[in-house]
Amino acid sequence: MDFESWWLIFVPLLFALGWMAARFDIRQILSETRNLPDSYFRGLNFLLNEEPDRAIDAFVEVAKLDSETTELHFALGSLFRRRGEMERAIRVHQSLLSRADLPVSQREHAQHELAQDYLKAGMLDRAEEAFTVLKDTSFALASLRALIRIYESEHDWARAIQAVESLRKLVDEPVPQLVHYYCEQAQVALAAKPPLVAQAQEALKQAERAAKVSGTESGSAARVRVALIHASIAGSAQQPLLQRQYLQSVLDQSPEFAGLVAEQLLQNFSQTQEAAAGLALLLSHHEKHPSLDLFNVVFRALRAQQGVTVAWAFARQALQTHPSLLGLDRLLEAELAHAAANETQLESPIPGADLALLRRLINQHSQRLDRYICRSCGFQARRYYWQCPGCNAWETYKPRRMEELQ
């Protein structure tokens, strides 16, 4: 294509247009800057100097001077909530909602921020009402997740289940805690006077269906919990063989949870006059999957069925294979309790050893290890929880004591 010299006429024209556009932008920026209050720049300066208290005071002054600065109001509300000043955060977001000229998108945003304020302030009734209003908005997903947390904290399992079902209509994602919601319903039914066994069994059916839909593995904590509730129902109905079937399923499918079912399993075998067979089963399991809780149960059973010599021989071998300060403390505790119950002199396999003194010394150091610990927040507890009391997360406890996890 031939070059036409008359095209050069457009070069200075393009430069002129660019210069005019730049001048216009600069003038607009300068004009907008002049219109901003000095408090705005002081607030920015305080933020840059990591002085959030003084920055907030400066931005509050800006908001008073110009009530139209909605984004600044949102920023202030978030700052107040983050600092724990819930009353001020609520006032900021309520003032936004009171404006009749607020666009729909910003009104929904303000409603969501206010709902979060109520939730963090512990005002669950108001938070629930505020989040419910947002179910058909762009904040529906976040609101449903918040409602689920609220219903969990209120132990309103029926509404939590409904919220999960609504959530799954919006997003295709597994909700593993749904199994636990049904288990909670089953336990509530069994705790009634008289126990509502039929309702509990129906809840367990729903729990198994939810586990299947969400792809929950057979050895998971949720599956173990379902089996344990089934075993409890069978035990109450005087069906020891059915109860044993559920308890043994935990040993087979979730071996690390053996410590949670070992005591029940021994009692079950004792009911059918098969205590020795039950002990042999747990001994075999301990050889393959040792744990402190299972060690404690086996040692006590050996002490009762076969005497102190056999029990201590098992303890020595177990502690040599898996050294444990907490394990030694447990067996000394069992020995002392046995002696006190029978009002006899403590029968020690260690000649001349003062086991009471030895246990006191060991116990001082082992108490801090005798805990289950949440993998999410680090909350420590003496008993096993399906839901952490600290952070409310599900299945964050491993069925092993802290010493075993170190």
**Going residue by residue through the chain (406 aa), what tens digit of pLDDT does each one get?**
454 555 555 556 555 556 555 444 444 433 444 444 555 545 555 555 555 556 555 555 554 545 456 777 777 788 778 888 898 888 878 877 887 877 888 889 989 999 999 999 989 999 999 999 998 899 999 999 999 999 999 999 999 999 999 988 888 877 888 999 999 999 999 999 999 999 999 999 999 999 888 777 777 899 999 999 999 999 999 999 999 999 999 999 999 999 999 999 999 999 999 999 999 999 999 999 988 889 889 988 988 898 878 888 888 888 888 877 767 777 676 666 666 666 555 455 544 456 666 666 666 666 777 789 999 898 999 899 999 988 889 999 999 888 777 6
> What span, in angstroms and rounded, lies between the C-alpha atoms of 186 and 198?
9
| Domain ranges across the chain | 67-172, 174-284, 290-367, 371-406
Q: How many other β-carbons are positioned within 10 Å of the β-carbon of residue 191?
A: 10
* 334 close to 296: Cβ distance less than 8 angstroms: yes
Residue with tokens 């749904």: 178
Region of 88 (left: φ > 0; alpha: ψ -120 to 50; beta: rest) is alpha
The per-residue pLDDT for 128 is 94
- Name the token pair of 199: 């309702």
- Among positive and negative, which fits the CA dihedral 231, 236, 240, 241? negative
* 152 close to 160: Cβ distance less than 8 angstroms: yes
Q: How many other β-carbons are positioned within 10 Å of the β-carbon of residue 310?
A: 12
Cα end-to-end distance, the chain, whole Å: 77
Torsion, CA 98, CA 100, CA 105, CA 106, rounded to 10: -40
> What span, in angstroms and rounded, lies between the C-alpha atoms of 90 and 69?
17
Q: Is 406 helix (H, G, I), strand (E, B) or coil?
A: coil
Helix (H) or strand (E) holding 372: strand 372-373
> What span, in angstroms and rounded, lies between the C-alpha atoms of 315 and 297?
11
> What span, in angstroms and rounded, lies between the C-alpha atoms of 373 and 405?
9
| Residue 125, Cβ density class (10 Å: 0-12 exposed, 13-18 middle, ≥19 buried) | exposed
| Residue 88, Cβ density class (10 Å: 0-12 exposed, 13-18 middle, ≥19 buried) | middle
**pTM of the predicted model, to two decimals?**
0.76
**Domain covering 67-172: architecture:** Alpha Horseshoe (1.25)
Q: Which of 283, 190, 305, 187 is nearest to 237 (CA)?
A: 190
**Contacts for 146 with CB less than 8 Å, ≥ 6 apart:** 115, 116, 119, 127, 131
* Amino acid identity at 69: T
> What span, in angstroms and rounded, lies between the C-alpha atoms of 129 and 137?
14
- Name the token pair of 398: 């491993």
> What span, in angstroms and rounded, lies between the C-alpha atoms of 40 and 42?
5
Residue with tokens 């009692």: 267
